[in-house]
Amino acid sequence: MLVNGKQDNLISIRDRGLLYGDGVFRTILARQGKAQHWLLHYQKLQQDCSALNIPCQDFALLSTELDRLLTQHPDGVVKLIVTRGQGTRGYAPPVQATPNHIWSVSPCPDYPVDRATLGIKARMCQLLLSHQPRLAGIKHLNRLENVLAAAEWNNSESHDADIAEGLLMDEQRHVIEGTRSNLFLVSQGKLITPDLSRCGVAGVQRDRVMAWAAQHNMPLQVRDVGLDEVMHADELFLVNSIINIWPIRELEQRCWSDFPITEKIRHELNGQNK
Amino acid sequence: MLVNGKQDNLISIRDRGLLYGDGVFRTILARQGKAQHWLLHYQKLQQDCSALNIPCQDFALLSTELDRLLTQHPDGVVKLIVTRGQGTRGYAPPVQATPNHIWSVSPCPDYPVDRATLGIKARMCQLLLSHQPRLAGIKHLNRLENVLAAAEWNNSESHDADIAEGLLMDEQRHVIEGTRSNLFLVSQGKLITPDLSRCGVAGVQRDRVMAWAAQHNMPLQVRDVGLDEVMHADELFLVNSIINIWPIRELEQRCWSDFPITEKIRHELNGQNK
Protein backbone atom coordinates (compact mmCIF):
# COMPACT_ATOMS: atom_id res chain seq x y z
CA MET A 1 0.00 0.00 0.00
CA LEU A 2 1.23 3.45 -0.91
CA VAL A 3 -0.27 6.76 0.19
CA ASN A 4 1.16 9.70 -1.75
CA GLY A 5 4.15 7.58 -2.66
CA LYS A 6 4.96 6.45 0.89
CA GLN A 7 4.44 2.97 2.29
CA ASP A 8 1.33 3.46 4.38
CA ASN A 9 -2.16 2.10 4.88
CA LEU A 10 -3.76 5.01 6.68
CA ILE A 11 -5.34 8.26 5.60
CA SER A 12 -6.53 11.34 7.44
CA ILE A 13 -10.11 11.32 8.68
CA ARG A 14 -10.28 14.84 7.17
CA ASP A 15 -9.75 13.49 3.65
CA ARG A 16 -12.65 14.49 1.43
CA GLY A 17 -12.64 11.00 -0.07
CA LEU A 18 -13.95 9.73 3.26
CA LEU A 19 -16.06 12.78 4.14
CA TYR A 20 -17.93 13.10 0.83
CA GLY A 21 -16.72 10.37 -1.52
CA ASP A 22 -14.95 13.26 -3.24
CA GLY A 23 -12.59 11.29 -5.46
CA VAL A 24 -12.25 8.71 -8.21
CA PHE A 25 -10.63 5.30 -8.57
CA ARG A 26 -9.36 2.63 -10.93
CA THR A 27 -9.18 -1.15 -10.58
CA ILE A 28 -6.41 -2.71 -12.62
CA LEU A 29 -5.32 -6.30 -13.12
CA ALA A 30 -1.63 -7.03 -12.59
CA ARG A 31 -0.13 -10.18 -14.10
CA GLN A 32 3.53 -11.12 -13.91
CA GLY A 33 4.55 -7.66 -12.87
CA LYS A 34 2.59 -5.88 -15.58
CA ALA A 35 -0.47 -3.70 -15.01
CA GLN A 36 -2.82 -4.47 -17.88
CA HIS A 37 -3.83 -1.44 -19.96
CA TRP A 38 -2.26 0.99 -17.53
CA LEU A 39 -2.23 3.77 -20.12
CA LEU A 40 -5.96 3.40 -20.77
CA HIS A 41 -6.61 3.40 -17.03
CA TYR A 42 -4.52 6.51 -16.58
CA GLN A 43 -6.43 8.26 -19.37
CA LYS A 44 -9.75 7.42 -17.70
CA LEU A 45 -8.40 8.55 -14.33
CA GLN A 46 -7.43 11.84 -15.89
CA GLN A 47 -10.85 12.26 -17.52
CA ASP A 48 -12.66 11.43 -14.30
CA CYS A 49 -10.48 13.80 -12.25
CA SER A 50 -11.08 16.50 -14.81
CA ALA A 51 -14.86 15.98 -14.65
CA LEU A 52 -14.72 16.62 -10.90
CA ASN A 53 -12.09 19.34 -11.24
CA ILE A 54 -9.57 17.35 -9.17
CA PRO A 55 -5.95 17.87 -10.27
CA CYS A 56 -4.64 14.52 -11.49
CA GLN A 57 -1.14 13.30 -10.65
CA ASP A 58 1.05 13.04 -13.70
CA PHE A 59 1.61 9.87 -15.62
CA ALA A 60 5.33 9.59 -14.94
CA LEU A 61 4.92 9.86 -11.17
CA LEU A 62 2.11 7.30 -11.00
CA SER A 63 3.92 4.94 -13.38
CA THR A 64 7.03 5.01 -11.17
CA GLU A 65 4.98 4.23 -8.08
CA LEU A 66 3.08 1.49 -9.88
CA ASP A 67 6.38 -0.12 -10.90
CA ARG A 68 7.54 -0.13 -7.26
CA LEU A 69 4.26 -1.74 -6.24
CA LEU A 70 4.44 -4.40 -8.96
CA THR A 71 7.98 -5.34 -7.94
CA GLN A 72 6.58 -6.35 -4.57
CA HIS A 73 3.23 -7.67 -5.84
CA PRO A 74 3.56 -8.86 -9.43
CA ASP A 75 0.07 -10.43 -9.47
CA GLY A 76 -3.12 -9.01 -8.04
CA VAL A 77 -5.87 -6.47 -8.25
CA VAL A 78 -4.34 -3.02 -8.08
CA LYS A 79 -6.57 -0.23 -6.90
CA LEU A 80 -5.71 3.43 -7.32
CA ILE A 81 -7.77 6.06 -5.53
CA VAL A 82 -7.37 9.80 -6.09
CA THR A 83 -9.20 12.04 -3.64
CA ARG A 84 -9.46 15.83 -3.57
CA GLY A 85 -7.46 15.72 -0.32
CA GLN A 86 -8.22 17.80 2.72
CA GLY A 87 -9.90 21.16 2.84
CA THR A 88 -11.71 23.44 5.21
CA ARG A 89 -14.99 22.17 6.65
CA GLY A 90 -17.92 22.09 4.25
CA TYR A 91 -18.88 20.74 0.85
CA ALA A 92 -17.27 23.49 -1.24
CA PRO A 93 -14.02 22.16 -2.69
CA PRO A 94 -10.89 24.11 -1.76
CA VAL A 95 -9.80 26.45 -4.53
CA GLN A 96 -6.30 24.96 -4.37
CA ALA A 97 -6.81 21.25 -3.83
CA THR A 98 -3.92 19.04 -2.78
CA PRO A 99 -5.14 15.61 -3.89
CA ASN A 100 -4.16 12.41 -2.15
CA HIS A 101 -3.49 9.24 -4.09
CA ILE A 102 -3.59 5.77 -2.70
CA TRP A 103 -2.39 2.47 -4.16
CA SER A 104 -3.40 -0.89 -2.80
CA VAL A 105 -3.09 -4.45 -4.01
CA SER A 106 -5.41 -7.36 -3.26
CA PRO A 107 -5.02 -11.00 -4.27
CA CYS A 108 -6.63 -11.93 -7.59
CA PRO A 109 -10.13 -13.30 -6.96
CA ASP A 110 -10.31 -17.06 -7.53
CA TYR A 111 -13.25 -17.03 -9.92
CA PRO A 112 -14.04 -20.45 -11.45
CA VAL A 113 -12.14 -20.48 -14.75
CA ASP A 114 -15.09 -21.83 -16.71
CA ARG A 115 -17.05 -18.62 -16.21
CA ALA A 116 -15.31 -17.20 -19.26
CA THR A 117 -16.30 -20.15 -21.43
CA LEU A 118 -19.55 -21.54 -20.00
CA GLY A 119 -20.88 -18.19 -18.87
CA ILE A 120 -22.35 -17.03 -15.62
CA LYS A 121 -25.70 -16.83 -13.96
CA ALA A 122 -26.84 -13.23 -13.47
CA ARG A 123 -29.84 -11.63 -11.86
CA MET A 124 -31.77 -8.40 -12.23
CA CYS A 125 -31.32 -6.13 -9.22
CA GLN A 126 -34.28 -4.39 -7.64
CA LEU A 127 -32.39 -1.20 -6.95
CA LEU A 128 -32.84 1.29 -9.80
CA LEU A 129 -29.95 3.58 -10.67
CA SER A 130 -30.64 7.28 -10.37
CA HIS A 131 -29.97 9.75 -13.18
CA GLN A 132 -27.17 12.20 -12.57
CA PRO A 133 -25.69 13.34 -15.90
CA ARG A 134 -23.01 15.34 -14.04
CA LEU A 135 -21.61 12.13 -12.53
CA ALA A 136 -22.58 9.55 -15.16
CA GLY A 137 -19.72 7.52 -16.58
CA ILE A 138 -17.31 8.60 -13.84
CA LYS A 139 -15.77 5.96 -11.57
CA HIS A 140 -16.15 8.14 -8.48
CA LEU A 141 -16.22 7.17 -4.82
CA ASN A 142 -20.00 7.59 -4.35
CA ARG A 143 -20.85 3.94 -4.73
CA LEU A 144 -23.72 3.31 -2.33
CA GLU A 145 -26.02 2.28 -5.17
CA ASN A 146 -23.58 -0.48 -6.09
CA VAL A 147 -23.29 -1.50 -2.44
CA LEU A 148 -27.07 -1.75 -2.02
CA ALA A 149 -27.43 -3.64 -5.30
CA ALA A 150 -24.66 -6.12 -4.45
CA ALA A 151 -26.23 -6.67 -1.02
CA GLU A 152 -29.41 -7.93 -2.69
CA TRP A 153 -27.97 -11.38 -3.31
CA ASN A 154 -24.87 -11.42 -1.12
CA ASN A 155 -26.27 -10.93 2.34
CA SER A 156 -26.92 -13.69 4.78
CA GLU A 157 -30.65 -14.03 4.06
CA SER A 158 -30.47 -14.16 0.31
CA HIS A 159 -27.03 -15.50 -0.48
CA ASP A 160 -26.88 -17.29 -3.80
CA ALA A 161 -23.31 -18.31 -4.50
CA ASP A 162 -24.28 -19.32 -8.02
CA ILE A 163 -25.08 -15.75 -9.03
CA ALA A 164 -21.95 -14.02 -10.27
CA GLU A 165 -23.35 -10.60 -11.12
CA GLY A 166 -26.46 -8.46 -10.90
CA LEU A 167 -27.72 -6.22 -13.67
CA LEU A 168 -28.96 -2.75 -12.91
CA MET A 169 -31.74 -0.79 -14.55
CA ASP A 170 -32.48 2.90 -14.20
CA GLU A 171 -35.79 4.37 -13.09
CA GLN A 172 -37.03 4.26 -16.68
CA ARG A 173 -36.32 0.52 -16.74
CA HIS A 174 -33.44 0.78 -19.17
CA VAL A 175 -30.78 -1.82 -18.50
CA ILE A 176 -27.53 0.06 -17.75
CA GLU A 177 -24.75 -2.20 -16.48
CA GLY A 178 -23.73 -4.84 -13.96
CA THR A 179 -22.96 -3.85 -10.38
CA ARG A 180 -19.24 -4.02 -11.22
CA SER A 181 -19.20 -4.53 -14.99
CA ASN A 182 -20.42 -3.15 -18.30
CA LEU A 183 -22.94 -5.00 -20.45
CA PHE A 184 -22.94 -5.83 -24.15
CA LEU A 185 -25.68 -7.45 -26.20
CA VAL A 186 -25.06 -9.35 -29.40
CA SER A 187 -28.11 -9.11 -31.63
CA GLN A 188 -28.31 -10.08 -35.31
CA GLY A 189 -24.60 -9.75 -35.76
CA LYS A 190 -24.26 -6.37 -34.12
CA LEU A 191 -23.10 -5.19 -30.72
CA ILE A 192 -25.21 -3.00 -28.49
CA THR A 193 -24.11 -1.44 -25.22
CA PRO A 194 -26.20 0.83 -22.98
CA ASP A 195 -25.86 4.59 -23.18
CA LEU A 196 -24.15 5.80 -19.99
CA SER A 197 -24.85 9.52 -20.25
CA ARG A 198 -27.31 9.61 -17.33
CA CYS A 199 -25.94 6.89 -15.02
CA GLY A 200 -23.46 4.04 -14.92
CA VAL A 201 -19.69 3.75 -15.01
CA ALA A 202 -17.87 3.65 -18.36
CA GLY A 203 -15.05 1.17 -17.87
CA VAL A 204 -11.80 0.70 -19.74
CA GLN A 205 -12.82 -2.77 -20.86
CA ARG A 206 -15.99 -1.35 -22.42
CA ASP A 207 -13.83 1.05 -24.42
CA ARG A 208 -11.63 -1.83 -25.53
CA VAL A 209 -14.62 -3.79 -26.85
CA MET A 210 -15.87 -0.67 -28.63
CA ALA A 211 -12.44 -0.07 -30.16
CA TRP A 212 -12.26 -3.71 -31.26
CA ALA A 213 -15.67 -3.42 -32.93
CA ALA A 214 -14.59 -0.28 -34.79
CA GLN A 215 -11.38 -1.94 -35.98
CA HIS A 216 -13.25 -5.02 -37.19
CA ASN A 217 -16.13 -3.17 -38.80
CA MET A 218 -18.58 -4.77 -36.47
CA PRO A 219 -21.67 -2.57 -36.14
CA LEU A 220 -21.98 -1.21 -32.62
CA GLN A 221 -24.74 0.87 -31.13
CA VAL A 222 -24.56 2.86 -27.89
CA ARG A 223 -28.14 3.56 -26.90
CA ASP A 224 -30.96 2.87 -24.45
CA VAL A 225 -31.70 -0.81 -24.03
CA GLY A 226 -34.89 -2.23 -22.53
CA LEU A 227 -35.10 -5.41 -20.48
CA ASP A 228 -37.08 -7.11 -23.21
CA GLU A 229 -34.29 -6.52 -25.69
CA VAL A 230 -31.76 -7.90 -23.22
CA MET A 231 -33.82 -11.05 -22.69
CA HIS A 232 -34.09 -11.60 -26.45
CA ALA A 233 -30.45 -10.93 -27.32
CA ASP A 234 -28.53 -13.68 -29.14
CA GLU A 235 -25.69 -13.30 -26.65
CA LEU A 236 -24.99 -11.20 -23.59
CA PHE A 237 -21.65 -10.54 -22.05
CA LEU A 238 -20.19 -8.55 -19.16
CA VAL A 239 -16.80 -6.90 -19.08
CA ASN A 240 -14.50 -5.35 -16.55
CA SER A 241 -10.77 -5.13 -16.05
CA ILE A 242 -10.62 -8.03 -13.61
CA ILE A 243 -13.06 -10.55 -15.11
CA ASN A 244 -12.18 -9.54 -18.66
CA ILE A 245 -15.25 -11.00 -20.46
CA TRP A 246 -17.94 -13.29 -19.08
CA PRO A 247 -20.87 -14.40 -21.19
CA ILE A 248 -24.22 -14.69 -19.42
CA ARG A 249 -25.67 -18.20 -19.55
CA GLU A 250 -28.67 -17.59 -17.34
CA LEU A 251 -30.69 -14.48 -16.48
CA GLU A 252 -34.06 -14.66 -14.75
CA GLN A 253 -35.19 -18.01 -16.24
CA ARG A 254 -33.78 -17.33 -19.69
CA CYS A 255 -30.78 -19.44 -20.72
CA TRP A 256 -28.09 -19.12 -23.36
CA SER A 257 -25.57 -21.81 -24.30
CA ASP A 258 -23.69 -20.59 -27.36
CA PHE A 259 -21.60 -17.46 -27.37
CA PRO A 260 -19.69 -17.49 -30.67
CA ILE A 261 -19.23 -13.73 -30.98
CA THR A 262 -18.46 -13.25 -27.28
CA GLU A 263 -15.91 -16.05 -27.62
CA LYS A 264 -14.29 -14.40 -30.62
CA ILE A 265 -14.04 -11.00 -28.91
CA ARG A 266 -12.74 -12.63 -25.73
CA HIS A 267 -9.96 -14.39 -27.60
CA GLU A 268 -8.93 -11.28 -29.46
CA LEU A 269 -8.95 -9.05 -26.37
CA ASN A 270 -7.10 -11.72 -24.40
CA GLY A 271 -4.49 -11.74 -27.16
CA GLN A 272 -3.96 -8.02 -26.56
CA ASN A 273 -3.43 -8.70 -22.83
CA LYS A 274 -0.39 -10.86 -23.50
CA MET B 1 -10.32 13.40 17.14
CA LEU B 2 -11.40 9.93 18.18
CA VAL B 3 -11.42 6.82 16.00
CA ASN B 4 -13.27 3.93 17.63
CA GLY B 5 -12.82 5.59 21.00
CA LYS B 6 -9.06 6.14 20.66
CA GLN B 7 -7.32 9.47 20.12
CA ASP B 8 -6.44 9.26 16.45
CA ASN B 9 -6.86 11.13 13.21
CA LEU B 10 -6.20 8.34 10.74
CA ILE B 11 -8.26 5.57 9.25
CA SER B 12 -7.46 2.53 7.13
CA ILE B 13 -7.44 3.02 3.38
CA ARG B 14 -9.51 -0.21 3.29
CA ASP B 15 -12.37 1.43 5.15
CA ARG B 16 -15.56 1.24 3.09
CA GLY B 17 -16.34 4.81 4.04
CA LEU B 18 -13.44 5.89 1.83
CA LEU B 19 -13.83 3.17 -0.80
CA TYR B 20 -17.56 3.57 -1.45
CA GLY B 21 -18.89 6.31 0.81
CA ASP B 22 -20.43 3.39 2.71
CA GLY B 23 -21.41 5.18 5.90
CA VAL B 24 -23.41 7.98 7.47
CA PHE B 25 -22.65 11.08 9.51
CA ARG B 26 -23.99 13.76 11.81
CA THR B 27 -22.96 17.37 12.32
CA ILE B 28 -23.70 18.68 15.80
CA LEU B 29 -23.20 22.06 17.41
CA ALA B 30 -21.41 22.08 20.76
CA ARG B 31 -21.79 25.08 23.05
CA GLN B 32 -20.29 25.36 26.52
CA GLY B 33 -19.58 21.66 26.68
CA LYS B 34 -23.06 20.58 25.59
CA ALA B 35 -23.86 18.91 22.25
CA GLN B 36 -27.16 20.41 21.15
CA HIS B 37 -29.94 17.88 20.57
CA TRP B 38 -27.59 14.94 20.90
CA LEU B 39 -30.45 12.52 21.48
CA LEU B 40 -32.20 13.60 18.27
CA HIS B 41 -28.93 13.26 16.38
CA TYR B 42 -28.38 9.81 17.80
CA GLN B 43 -31.88 8.75 16.77
CA LYS B 44 -31.24 9.94 13.20
CA LEU B 45 -27.87 8.21 13.17
CA GLN B 46 -29.57 5.00 14.21
CA GLN B 47 -32.26 5.37 11.52
CA ASP B 48 -29.70 6.11 8.83
CA CYS B 49 -27.48 3.19 9.88
CA SER B 50 -30.51 0.95 9.87
CA ALA B 51 -31.49 2.08 6.36
CA LEU B 52 -28.06 0.98 5.13
CA ASN B 53 -27.98 -2.08 7.36
CA ILE B 54 -24.92 -0.82 9.24
CA PRO B 55 -24.88 -1.82 12.93
CA CYS B 56 -25.03 1.38 14.99
CA GLN B 57 -22.91 1.89 18.11
CA ASP B 58 -25.02 2.13 21.22
CA PHE B 59 -26.09 5.37 22.79
CA ALA B 60 -24.21 4.92 26.05
CA LEU B 61 -20.88 4.27 24.35
CA LEU B 62 -21.19 7.23 21.98
CA SER B 63 -22.41 9.52 24.77
CA THR B 64 -19.37 8.66 26.90
CA GLU B 65 -17.03 9.39 24.02
CA LEU B 66 -18.84 12.60 23.21
CA ASP B 67 -18.46 13.73 26.82
CA ARG B 68 -14.71 13.11 26.66
CA LEU B 69 -14.54 15.12 23.46
CA LEU B 70 -16.54 18.01 24.90
CA THR B 71 -14.31 18.22 27.94
CA GLN B 72 -11.44 19.02 25.59
CA HIS B 73 -13.47 21.03 23.06
CA PRO B 74 -16.50 22.61 24.76
CA ASP B 75 -17.38 24.72 21.70
CA GLY B 76 -17.30 23.72 18.06
CA VAL B 77 -18.82 21.74 15.25
CA VAL B 78 -18.76 18.08 16.21
CA LYS B 79 -18.85 15.58 13.38
CA LEU B 80 -19.59 11.90 13.90
CA ILE B 81 -19.03 9.47 11.04
CA VAL B 82 -20.06 5.82 11.17
CA THR B 83 -18.74 3.64 8.34
CA ARG B 84 -19.42 -0.01 7.63
CA GLY B 85 -15.73 -0.64 8.39
CA GLN B 86 -13.50 -2.92 6.38
CA GLY B 87 -14.50 -5.93 4.37
CA THR B 88 -13.25 -8.13 1.61
CA ARG B 89 -12.74 -6.52 -1.79
CA GLY B 90 -15.91 -5.67 -3.69
CA TYR B 91 -19.15 -3.77 -3.27
CA ALA B 92 -21.07 -6.47 -1.37
CA PRO B 93 -21.14 -5.55 2.31
CA PRO B 94 -19.60 -8.09 4.68
CA VAL B 95 -22.23 -10.23 6.38
CA GLN B 96 -20.70 -9.38 9.75
CA ALA B 97 -19.73 -5.75 9.53
CA THR B 98 -17.44 -4.18 12.12
CA PRO B 99 -18.28 -0.49 11.78
CA ASN B 100 -15.81 2.25 12.49
CA HIS B 101 -16.86 5.45 14.16
CA ILE B 102 -15.01 8.71 14.01
CA TRP B 103 -15.43 11.90 16.00
CA SER B 104 -13.90 15.19 15.03
CA VAL B 105 -14.33 18.78 16.16
CA SER B 106 -13.87 21.92 14.09
CA PRO B 107 -14.08 25.54 15.24
CA CYS B 108 -17.51 27.13 14.97
CA PRO B 109 -17.81 28.99 11.69
CA ASP B 110 -17.78 32.75 12.14
CA TYR B 111 -20.93 33.53 10.22
CA PRO B 112 -22.03 37.18 10.43
CA VAL B 113 -24.49 37.28 13.34
CA ASP B 114 -27.03 39.33 11.41
CA ARG B 115 -27.74 36.46 9.04
CA ALA B 116 -30.27 35.15 11.53
CA THR B 117 -32.10 38.46 11.72
CA LEU B 118 -31.57 40.21 8.36
CA GLY B 119 -31.53 37.04 6.31
CA ILE B 120 -29.14 35.75 3.69
CA LYS B 121 -28.71 35.92 -0.02
CA ALA B 122 -29.24 32.54 -1.67
CA ARG B 123 -28.98 31.31 -5.22
CA MET B 124 -30.48 28.52 -7.28
CA CYS B 125 -27.93 25.84 -8.16
CA GLN B 126 -27.68 24.47 -11.67
CA LEU B 127 -27.00 20.94 -10.52
CA LEU B 128 -30.22 18.93 -10.28
CA LEU B 129 -30.50 16.30 -7.55
CA SER B 130 -31.07 12.75 -8.74
CA HIS B 131 -33.90 10.57 -7.47
CA GLN B 132 -32.86 7.61 -5.35
CA PRO B 133 -35.68 6.65 -2.97
CA ARG B 134 -33.41 4.03 -1.35
CA LEU B 135 -31.02 6.74 -0.19
CA ALA B 136 -33.34 9.74 0.13
CA GLY B 137 -33.41 11.42 3.52
CA ILE B 138 -30.25 9.63 4.70
CA LYS B 139 -27.20 11.67 5.66
CA HIS B 140 -24.81 9.23 3.99
CA LEU B 141 -21.26 9.75 2.79
CA ASN B 142 -22.11 9.92 -0.95
CA ARG B 143 -22.12 13.69 -1.17
CA LEU B 144 -20.68 14.51 -4.59
CA GLU B 145 -23.89 16.24 -5.63
CA ASN B 146 -23.50 18.63 -2.70
CA VAL B 147 -19.83 19.16 -3.56
CA LEU B 148 -20.61 19.98 -7.21
CA ALA B 149 -23.45 22.29 -6.19
CA ALA B 150 -21.36 24.14 -3.59
CA ALA B 151 -18.57 24.53 -6.17
CA GLU B 152 -20.93 26.50 -8.40
CA TRP B 153 -20.46 29.71 -6.43
CA ASN B 154 -17.42 28.95 -4.28
CA ASN B 155 -14.71 28.30 -6.82
CA SER B 156 -12.17 30.83 -7.96
CA GLU B 157 -13.99 31.86 -11.14
CA SER B 158 -17.40 32.41 -9.66
CA HIS B 159 -16.80 33.23 -6.04
CA ASP B 160 -19.55 35.36 -4.54
CA ALA B 161 -18.90 35.85 -0.83
CA ASP B 162 -22.29 37.42 -0.42
CA ILE B 163 -24.12 34.18 -1.25
CA ALA B 164 -24.56 32.09 1.87
CA GLU B 165 -26.37 29.08 0.45
CA GLY B 166 -27.53 27.50 -2.78
CA LEU B 167 -30.91 25.87 -3.28
CA LEU B 168 -31.18 22.58 -5.11
CA MET B 169 -33.93 21.35 -7.39
CA ASP B 170 -34.47 17.82 -8.62
CA GLU B 171 -34.73 16.82 -12.27
CA GLN B 172 -38.47 17.58 -12.17
CA ARG B 173 -37.68 21.12 -11.05
CA HIS B 174 -39.06 20.65 -7.57
CA VAL B 175 -37.13 22.66 -5.00
CA ILE B 176 -35.73 20.18 -2.47
CA GLU B 177 -33.26 21.77 -0.04
CA GLY B 178 -30.13 23.85 0.37
CA THR B 179 -26.70 22.33 -0.25
CA ARG B 180 -26.27 21.95 3.52
CA SER B 181 -29.69 22.92 4.91
CA ASN B 182 -33.39 22.18 4.74
CA LEU B 183 -35.88 24.67 3.35
CA PHE B 184 -39.19 25.94 4.72
CA LEU B 185 -41.71 28.22 3.07
CA VAL B 186 -44.17 30.37 4.95
CA SER B 187 -47.25 30.91 2.86
CA GLN B 188 -50.57 32.34 4.03
CA GLY B 189 -49.85 31.44 7.60
CA LYS B 190 -48.84 27.87 6.97
CA LEU B 191 -45.47 26.12 6.75
CA ILE B 192 -44.44 24.07 3.75
CA THR B 193 -41.31 21.97 3.46
CA PRO B 194 -40.30 19.83 0.48
CA ASP B 195 -41.00 16.13 0.41
CA LEU B 196 -37.69 14.25 0.76
CA SER B 197 -38.80 10.78 -0.23
CA ARG B 198 -36.87 10.76 -3.53
CA CYS B 199 -33.83 12.90 -2.73
CA GLY B 200 -32.44 15.25 -0.12
CA VAL B 201 -31.27 14.90 3.47
CA ALA B 202 -33.78 15.09 6.31
CA GLY B 203 -32.02 16.97 9.09
CA VAL B 204 -32.63 17.11 12.82
CA GLN B 205 -33.41 20.81 12.66
CA ARG B 206 -36.13 20.16 10.06
CA ASP B 207 -37.70 17.68 12.49
CA ARG B 208 -37.55 20.25 15.25
CA VAL B 209 -39.40 22.84 13.17
CA MET B 210 -41.99 20.22 12.23
CA ALA B 211 -42.43 19.23 15.87
CA TRP B 212 -42.77 22.88 16.87
CA ALA B 213 -45.47 23.40 14.21
CA ALA B 214 -47.40 20.38 15.46
CA GLN B 215 -47.19 21.58 19.07
CA HIS B 216 -48.39 25.06 18.13
CA ASN B 217 -51.14 23.94 15.76
CA MET B 218 -49.47 25.64 12.88
CA PRO B 219 -50.52 23.98 9.62
CA LEU B 220 -47.55 22.27 7.95
CA GLN B 221 -47.42 20.53 4.62
CA VAL B 222 -44.69 18.16 3.44
CA ARG B 223 -45.04 17.98 -0.32
CA ASP B 224 -43.53 18.82 -3.70
CA VAL B 225 -42.75 22.50 -4.10
CA GLY B 226 -42.12 24.23 -7.42
CA LEU B 227 -39.74 27.14 -7.92
CA ASP B 228 -42.64 29.47 -8.62
CA GLU B 229 -44.16 28.73 -5.25
CA VAL B 230 -40.82 29.36 -3.57
CA MET B 231 -40.44 32.72 -5.30
CA HIS B 232 -43.94 33.75 -4.20
CA ALA B 233 -43.69 32.59 -0.59
CA ASP B 234 -44.30 35.15 2.15
CA GLU B 235 -41.14 34.01 3.91
CA LEU B 236 -38.42 31.47 3.25
CA PHE B 237 -36.02 30.07 5.78
CA LEU B 238 -33.21 27.53 5.90
CA VAL B 239 -32.33 25.32 8.84
CA ASN B 240 -29.51 23.09 9.93
CA SER B 241 -27.88 22.19 13.21
CA ILE B 242 -25.07 24.70 12.86
CA ILE B 243 -26.81 27.75 11.39
CA ASN B 244 -30.02 27.06 13.30
CA ILE B 245 -32.43 29.23 11.24
CA TRP B 246 -31.60 31.75 8.54
CA PRO B 247 -34.33 33.61 6.66
CA ILE B 248 -33.70 34.24 2.97
CA ARG B 249 -33.68 37.93 2.09
CA GLU B 250 -32.67 37.56 -1.55
CA LEU B 251 -33.05 34.79 -4.08
CA GLU B 252 -32.51 35.35 -7.80
CA GLN B 253 -33.67 38.98 -7.93
CA ARG B 254 -36.56 38.48 -5.52
CA CYS B 255 -36.18 40.15 -2.12
CA TRP B 256 -37.85 39.71 1.25
CA SER B 257 -37.44 42.02 4.23
CA ASP B 258 -39.92 40.87 6.88
CA PHE B 259 -39.80 37.46 8.47
CA PRO B 260 -42.26 37.56 11.38
CA ILE B 261 -43.03 33.84 11.47
CA THR B 262 -39.43 32.80 10.86
CA GLU B 263 -38.45 35.14 13.68
CA LYS B 264 -40.99 33.61 16.02
CA ILE B 265 -39.90 30.04 15.25
CA ARG B 266 -36.26 31.03 15.58
CA HIS B 267 -36.80 32.50 19.03
CA GLU B 268 -38.74 29.52 20.24
CA LEU B 269 -36.25 26.97 18.90
CA ASN B 270 -33.37 29.03 20.28
CA GLY B 271 -35.10 28.93 23.64
CA GLN B 272 -34.99 25.13 23.50
CA ASN B 273 -31.25 25.25 22.79
CA LYS B 274 -30.55 26.93 26.10
10 Å Cβ neighbour count for A43? Answer: 14
CB pair distance less than 8 Å for A147 and B91? yes
Q: Which residues of B touch A3 (CB under 8 A)?
A: 13
**Minimum CA–CA partner of B152 in chain A:** A92
Backbone angles phi, psi at A180, to 5 degrees: -140, 30
**% of residues, chain B, pLDDT over 70:** 98
Three-state SS letters, A40-87: HHHHHHHHHHHHCCCCCCCHHHHHHHHHHHHHHCCCEEEEEEEECCCC
Q: Which residue among A92, A95, A131 sits closest to B150, beta carbon to beta carbon?
A: A92
Q: In angstroms, rounded to a whole number, what is the distance separating the alpha carbons of residues A138 and B17?
A: 18
Q: Which residue among B18, B93, B150 sits closest to A18, beta carbon to beta carbon?
A: B18
Q: Which residue among B12, B95, B106 sits closest to A10, beta carbon to beta carbon?
A: B12
Give the pLDDT confidence of B104-152 residue by residue, as tens digits. Answer: 999 999 999 999 999 999 999 999 999 999 999 999 999 999 999 999 9
- Between residues B160 and B53, which one has the greater pLDDT? B53
Interface with B, mutate which of A26, A101, A132, A198 (most B CBs under 10 A) = A132
Is any Cβ of chain A less than 8 angstroms from the Cβ of B14?
A: yes
Give the pLDDT confidence of A245-254 residue by residue, as tens digits. Answer: 999 999 999 9
Give the pLDDT confidence of A112-159 residue by residue, as tens digits. Answer: 999 999 999 999 999 999 999 999 999 999 999 999 999 999 876 666
A233, A170 contact by CB (below 8 A): no
H helix or E strand, kind and range, residue A166: strand A163-170
CB pair distance less than 8 Å for A18 and B22? no
CA distances to B51, B56, B110 from B46, in Å: 9, 6, 30
Backbone angles phi, psi at B23, to 5 degrees: 180, 180
ipTM higher than 0.95? yes
Task: Say what the pTM is.
Answer: 0.97
Interface with B, mutate which of A81, A91, A165 (most B CBs under 10 A) = A91
CA distances to A176, A245, B27, B58, B175 from B5, in Å: 42, 45, 18, 13, 39
**Which domains are delineated in chain B?**
2-106 (3.30.470.10), 115-273 (3.20.10.10)
Is any Cβ of chain B less than 8 angstroms from the Cβ of A131?
A: yes
pLDDT for the residue B156: 59
Interface of A with B in 53-92 (CB under 8 A): 53, 77, 81, 83, 89-92
Q: Which residues of B touch A92 (CB under 8 A)?
A: 147, 150-151, 154-155
**% of residues, chain B, pLDDT over 90:** 92
For residue B91, the distance in angstroms to the closest alpha carbon of chain A comes to 5
Is any Cβ of chain B less than 8 angstroms from the Cβ of A168?
A: no
Q: Which residue among A20, A102, A179 sits closest to B141, beta carbon to beta carbon?
A: A20
Confidence of residue A272 (pLDDT cuts 50, 70, 90): confident
10 Å Cβ neighbour count for A272? Answer: 11
Q: What is the strand order of the sheet B100-106 is part of?
A: B6-7, B2-3, B100-106, B76-83, B23-31, B34-35
B176, B193 contact by CB (below 8 A): no
